[in-house]
Structure 1
Amino acid sequence: MTAQFNHTIIASLDPQRMAKFYLDLLEAREEPGWGPFANISLAHGVLLQFASPPIDFPPQHYAYLLDDEHFDRAYATVCKREIEHWADPQRQLAGRINRDHGGRGIYLLDPSGHYLELITRSYLPVAG
């Protein structure tokens, strides 16, 4: 496979606030912005661009794979900031961590209402 994910634009009510939220939680790197975009980058050159769209937008789902130590730090941040979170996407198991796929995971909402999933094990087996 030669295709590699490069970037996406995430619809945002407040692009700067969204970039800061993701920057801290994902331990990302701040990147220069241009036009309507507040930008951050993740590992492997993946760029997240936050911008306010000219229309209403439905919530989206974004899942991020973290190593165990990063998950511990992110979860501590979620708890310290009292960010509501769940062990399940149906939002029935409040304040808990799931143990799905041999790892750990949580679901939460970002400041624009998108569903975030933080996991420590991929749903797919590791290639190689």
Structure 2
Amino acid sequence: MQRETAPRAPEASTSVHSDADASQDDQGRITALEDLILAKLDDDKAQDVVFIDLKGKTAVADGLIVASGRSHRHVGAMADHLLRALKDEGYGRVRVEGLPHCDWVLIDTGDVIVHLFRPEVRSFYNIEKIWSVDSPHRTQAV
């Protein structure tokens, strides 16, 4: 799941930065973080990846990413690879919960929250419903 963005025109360098420039820089950083996470999950063969844009909906985070792994080991490996990639890219200290059991691993980067589940656990908690997002792993009743 990749997001395409139009290339930005080069900006003239100035020593004065406005609030709009800072907001645009923050938005670019958040988009780069989201893209990094989505690319890493794609590389690790995550299943049913859902990105939920929370900008303007809550102060908790700007984005929420939910994905499934096939087993405890797959969820743990995805979490480990993602944590390494975040550290290597300079996103620093992230908070992690659930690594010992790997049923549900939560990675909080501050701007983006990532939930990695085993499929049974994801179906049970169904956190996409909290944000009214249709999940690809749910089937509709006929």
Q: TM-score, normalised by structure 1?
A: 0.43
Which one has the bigger helix percentage? 2
Structure whose CA Rg is larger: 2
Which one has the bigger strand percentage? 1
